[in-house]
């Protein structure tokens, strides 16, 4: 990890931990989870919001007033709004994506939950996702939340990432492995 990325992660973790602690004190974790989801979705859908949080050309006041207006429009809780306003005041909005990710991890941990990133060659049915979640739950002894996506280049099979572990059963990976073995022989 680069030094800059490490610093950004540290800043994001401090803000996320503080916000999570406040929400936990107020027994308001479900509202925080909703806020994180709403704000993350807004960032994903708005190029202007992405530009606001990542561009240094805006002044503190411009960032702060814009983030307050956005928070009001999205109906974010007061503690989330105040945290984002503080981040704008301190010129820390550039860490918001990492901040949201750390918050998701803290919320999942408090719910004894893990998130599994599942990439499959074709869209999985609800039954297949449920079966996979049950299988992963038995291996990790935690509830599993699945973020599923499709990558047709896998040809068949899937890639499952849970924390630092990855299971790749895709046909593409098997073909690559076979190709490497053939290179070693010839």
Mind listing the pLDDT tens digit of every residue in the chain (186 residues)? 566 677 889 999 999 999 999 999 999 999 999 999 999 999 999 999 999 999 999 999 999 999 999 999 999 999 999 999 999 999 999 999 999 999 999 999 999 998 899 999 999 999 999 999 999 999 989 999 899 999 999 999 999 999 889 999 999 899 999 999 989 886
Q: Which two tokens stand for residue 16?
A: 């996320």
CA separation for the pair 103, 114 (Å, rounded):
13
Please state, in angstroms and as integers, the Cα–Cα distance from residue 151 to each residue in 99, 124, 155, 156, following that order.
27, 12, 8, 9
pLDDT at position 50: 93
Per-domain boundaries in the chain:
3-109, 113-185
Which neighbouring-strand residues pair with 148? 118
Q: What crossing angle do the helices spanning 47-54 and 29-45 adopt, rounded to 10°?
A: 100
- Dihedral of alpha carbons 178, 184, 185, 186, sign: positive
Give me the pLDDT at residue 1, please.
55
Q: Give the fold, CATH level 3, of 3-109.
A: Peroxidase; domain 1 (1.10.520)
pLDDT value at residue 163: 82
| Domain 113-185 coded CATH 3.40.30 | yes
CA distance 104 to 16: 9
Global confidence as pTM: 0.74
């Amino acid at each position: 990890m680069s030094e800059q990325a490490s610093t950004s992660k540290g800043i994001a973790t401090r803000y996320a931990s503080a916000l999570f602690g406040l929400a936990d004190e107020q027994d308001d974790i479900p509202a925080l989870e909703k806020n994180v989801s709403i704000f993350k979705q807004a960032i994903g859908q708005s190029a202007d919001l992405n530009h606001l949080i990542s561009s240094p050309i805006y002044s503190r006041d411009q960032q702060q007033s814009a983030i307050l207006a956005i928070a009001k429009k999205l109906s974010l809780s007061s503690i989330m709004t105040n945290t984002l306003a503080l981040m704008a005041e301190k010129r820390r909005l550039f860490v918001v994506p990492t901040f949201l990710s750390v918050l998701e991890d803290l919320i999942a941990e408090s719910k004894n939950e893990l998130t599994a990133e599942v990439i499959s060659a074709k869209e999985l049915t609800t039954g297949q996702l449920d079966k996979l979640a049950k299988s992963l739950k038995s291996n990790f002894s935690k509830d599993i939340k699945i973020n599923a996506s499709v990558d047709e280049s896998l040809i068949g099979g899937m890639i499952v990432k849970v924390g630092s572990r990855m299971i790749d059963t895709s046909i593409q990976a098997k073909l690559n492995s076979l190709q490497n073995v053939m290179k070693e022989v010839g």
